[in-house]
Amino acid sequence: MQPAAAILTDLDNTLYNWIDFYAPAFRAMVHTLARETRTEESVLIAQFESVFARHGSTEYPYCIQELELCRSLPKERVDALLHCGRVAFGKTRRRRLSLYVGVRRTLEWAKANCIPVVAVSNAPWYLAWRRIWRLGLKGLISGIAAAEGFELDESVGRFLVKRRAFQPAVRWTVGRSDLKPNPTLYTLVLESLSLNPGRTWIVGDDLDKDIRPAVAVGAISVWAAYGRSCDARNLETVMSITHWQRRKQDVRGGESVVPSYTIGSFDELIDLVPTSQLQLWEGD
Ligand SMILES: [Mg+2]
């Protein structure tokens, strides 16, 4: 098999468990806001769901300001709630967001073998970038292809200025309609870097969103089956605020898709992906 030209990897539930960090962080935020505003948590959750549905993302950064209960509040009060909510979310995120075992080792192995690794995510670009930075992957990810995202607010702007030293070499963004399962993000990366699809490995935990378009562009697809494992309560939390997304998926339906490989942990790539290391005998 030919040496790999590049690895394109999904982020959420492929490099880290998004559900097991996001859900507790979201609950902590709701809990704090419910206490501060003396509102039932279930009422707040329903208001968050409608904001997320409106913007097509659970990671919409201005969700607190847009909650129905904030509409009648003065700006200072909304700002105070925003601060409380962000602190509660961030505290839990810091405790819960971590790489799956073997991810760092695999990315270091790829770098040592001159295989570029590009993150391909449906998250807004700066969020993907910020998460990669927070996870200490600076220098191990060569580029990021992600959603155009939302206009940056002041706090994000400050964050970007402070961390300017970490800018991935290449970046691509597309509008919401071109995100996965549309193959556009993959095609953009393949064409921009002149990669041979047959030598490009695409990894992701979602058969429909990651693997189906990977097969469509002719890449070697690797299904990160371990990404499905998460805490039942956390999954329930995420399901409760993504009804709109699942309705969309139900409509899409689709035929089953077969990945080239299935892995039980990210570091299985080390044994799967061929490198161009010099070999003493052919066929080794
Ligand atoms: Mg994923």
pLDDT tens for residues 46-57?
Answer: 999 999 999 888
pLDDT of residue 284: 47
pLDDT of residue 170: 82
Distance of CA 15 from the midpoint of ligand 1 (Å): 9
pLDDT of residue 138: 86
**pLDDT value at 282 more than 90:** no
Distance of CA 12 from the midpoint of ligand 1 (Å): 4
Distance of CA 79 from the midpoint of ligand 1 (Å): 32
| HEC sequence for the chain | CCCCCEEEECCECCCECHHHHHHHHHHHHHHHHHHHHCCCHHHHHHHHHHHHHHHCCCCCCCCCCCCHHHCCCCHHHHHHHHHHHHHHHHHHHHHHCCECCCHHHHHHHHHHCCCCEEEEEEEEHHHHHHHHHHCCCCCCCCEEEEECCCCCCHHHHHHHHHCCCCCCCEEEEECHHHCCCCCHHHHHHHHHCCCCHHHEEEEECCHHHHHHHHHHCCCEEEEEHHHHCCCHHHHHHHHHCCHHHHHHHHHHCCCCCCCCEEECCHHHHHHHCCCCCCCCCCCC
pLDDT of residue 155: 57
Whole-prediction pTM: 0.89
Distance of CA 49 from the midpoint of ligand 1 (Å): 20
pLDDT of residue 158: 60
Distance of CA 91 from the midpoint of ligand 1 (Å): 23
**pLDDT value at 253 more than 70:** no
Q: Tell me the pLDDT of the chain averaged across its residues.
A: 89
Q: How confident is the model at residue 280 (pLDDT cuts 50, 70, 90)?
A: low
Query: Which range is least confidently modeled, 80-89, 109-118, 187-196, 271-280?
Result: 271-280
pLDDT of residue 246: 67
pLDDT of residue 152: 60
Q: What mean pLDDT comes out for the span 55-74? A: 90
Q: How confident is the model at residue 81 (pLDDT cuts 50, 70, 90)?
A: very high
